[in-house]
Amino acid sequence: MARYDFDMITIGAGSGGVASSRRAGSYGARVAIIEESRIGGTCVLRGCVPKKLLVYGAQFSDAFADAAGFGWHVPPATFDWPTLIAAKNKELDRLEQIYVNMLRNSGVEIIEGRGVLVDPHTIEVGGRRYTAENILVATGGHPTVPNIPGIEHVISSNEALDLPTLPRKIVIVGGGYIAVEFAGIFRGFGSDVVEIIRREELLHGFDDDLRVALAQELRGRGIEIHARTQVARIEKAPREGYSVFTTIGQEISADLVMYATGRAPNTKGLGLDAVGVKTNERGAVSVDEWQRSSIPNIYAIGDVTDQLNLTPVAIGEGRAIAETLYNNNPTKMDHENVPTAVFSQPPIGTVGLSEEQARRQYGDDVDIYCARFKPMKNTLSGRDERTFMKLVVDGKTDRVLGCHMIGVDAPEIIQGLAIAVKCGASKRMFDQTVGLHPSAAEEFVTMREKFVRPQKQAAE
């Protein structure tokens, strides 16, 4: 008789948990996965996938507007939000079923309910106990909001994806991925959007030139950005909507207030403390490079570890565990040069170091190459939107340290360049690569002149 009910039990059926469980199952491990909600997790049900579907929907307004320059006569377009939300929900149902089938096909047992650790090998779900040799915590995260008066009136991205009606005007607080993406979504559907950020620029941590370019483009699309602004309180208006009061005395009225001020790991009530799994000050499970927690048979991946909170990273971490434990193939997730995209409008794609990070690591010997141009399509469409691209290069070795882009198709283009950066490509190799003409992407292999920043704005 086996010592434990399972070889591995995963808590949380999001992208990371599912990927790890399936991979382990495919190697013959006896695996169960516990989920208290629907199968699919944040990415499939409350994040990447529904968000991107709404981004696609919102982009049609550009297409209708741009078509006239190419000779199309488009009658005034109308849009029905409930139709889109119903179609999106139908697609999520389909994806959830695919996830369920994939788990079953890999021999993974699905246990419905909330899992709580009882000891390092035992988890209780709804009064029933299950044991496993290894336990994987893949419980993800949840949106957090600051504690200010009236915060109970605000929505998060969870509710924004399922609103019964489209707001005429929305205030979005935060300047990170989620805030910027939803600002673009609501603006694309015609809502008035006010974004409130506490810093000077959006997207803290991204390359500064990208951040400046993004703000220009968002403002160009009519998104009002209130920089260096904090919200003091939110009040429900007497008839409908809300008033947002800032710390500098402004009052901004809107139908809806959305907060996208970060996310926190889902570790409360899991019994982690009781069994000795260490968490950090943000509540994230602390793990080593093998994703192992302070208890050797308990692992954690993805947002619950609060390292690089991106779906493909969680999947990579989860698969690495399955390789290590069940395929005799010790594997660590490589967190270097992970590309990332922000599905703002226009979108951003980026891989490697920003100029600021490169200068901190490599000193003054960092070369910068930039291109800023009007994409060919915008000549006839008349759209006043520019694409910006940037290469950050180590002046000593000629190695490309970072590629950054804001403009149509940036995520698609940067995914390809991420391979070059991962391979350690030099700027010379970029130059030797033949451009694909006519494309925007070819600019990345035709940048000849080093960018010399005017003294005043030189990066620190």
Of the listed pieces 159-167, 194-202, 353-361, 371-379, which binds ligand NDP according to CB under 6 A? 194-202
Shortest Å, Cβ 351 to ligand NDP: 13
SS3 451: coil
Of 193, 148, 190, 151, nearest in space to 169 by CA: 193
238 burial via Cβ count (<10 Å: 0-12, 13-18, 19+): exposed
305 lies in the site for ligand NDP, by CB under 6 A: no
If the CB atoms of residues 8 and 225 are measured against ligand NDP, the closer one turns out to be 225
Alpha carbon distance 409, 254 (integer Å): 32
SS3 382: coil
Residue 286 tokens read as 């602390």
If the CB atoms of residues 119 and 200 are measured against ligand NDP, the closer one turns out to be 200
Of the listed pieces 57-65, 127-135, 164-172, 193-201, which binds ligand NDP according to CB under 6 A? 193-201
Shortest Å, Cβ 327 to ligand NDP: 28
Distance set, CA 50 to CA 158, 351, 388, 409 (Å):
10, 24, 27, 19
In the range 242-261, which residues lie near ligand NDP by CB under 6 A? 260-261
340 lies in the site for ligand NDP, by CB under 6 A: yes
**φ, ψ at 229 (rounded to 5°):** -130, 140
Of the listed pieces 125-133, 264-272, 340-348, 428-436, which binds ligand NDP according to CB under 6 A? 340-348
Interface characters, 131-160, with ligand NDP (x: CB under 6 A):
---------------x--------------
If the CB atoms of residues 281 and 449 are measured against ligand NDP, the closer one turns out to be 281
Residue 142 annotated to the active site: no
335 lies in the site for ligand NDP, by CB under 6 A: no
- For the stretch 55-84, what's the b/e string if a residue is b when 16 or more beta carbons lie within 10 angstroms of its beta carbon? bebbbebbeeebeeeeeeeeeeeeeebeeb
Of 387, 383, 410, nearest in space to 61 by CA: 383
263 lies in the site for ligand NDP, by CB under 6 A: yes
If the CB atoms of residues 42 and 122 are measured against ligand NDP, the closer one turns out to be 42
Q: CB count, 10 Å around CB of 282?
A: 12
Task: Find the binder of ligand NDP among 29, 100, 178, 322 (CB under 6 A).
Answer: 178
Contact between 8 and 111 (Cβ < 8 Å): no
173 lies in the site for ligand NDP, by CB under 6 A: yes
Query: Which residue of the chain is nearest ligand NDP when measured via CB?
Result: 176
Contact between 223 and 189 (Cβ < 8 Å): no
346 lies in the site for ligand NDP, by CB under 6 A: no
Distance set, CA 449 to CA 207, 343, 386, 427 (Å):
19, 29, 19, 12
**β-bridge mates for residue 5, sequence order:** none
Of the listed pieces 1-9, 59-67, 70-78, 339-347, which binds ligand NDP according to CB under 6 A? 339-347
108 burial via Cβ count (<10 Å: 0-12, 13-18, 19+): buried
Shortest Å, Cβ 324 to ligand NDP: 25
Task: Find the binder of ligand NDP among 130, 177, 186, 430 (CB under 6 A).
Answer: 177
182 lies in the site for ligand NDP, by CB under 6 A: no
Catalytic center residues:
437
Q: Residues interacting with ligand NDP, by CB under 6 A? A: 146, 173-179, 181, 197-199, 204, 260-263, 309-310, 340-343
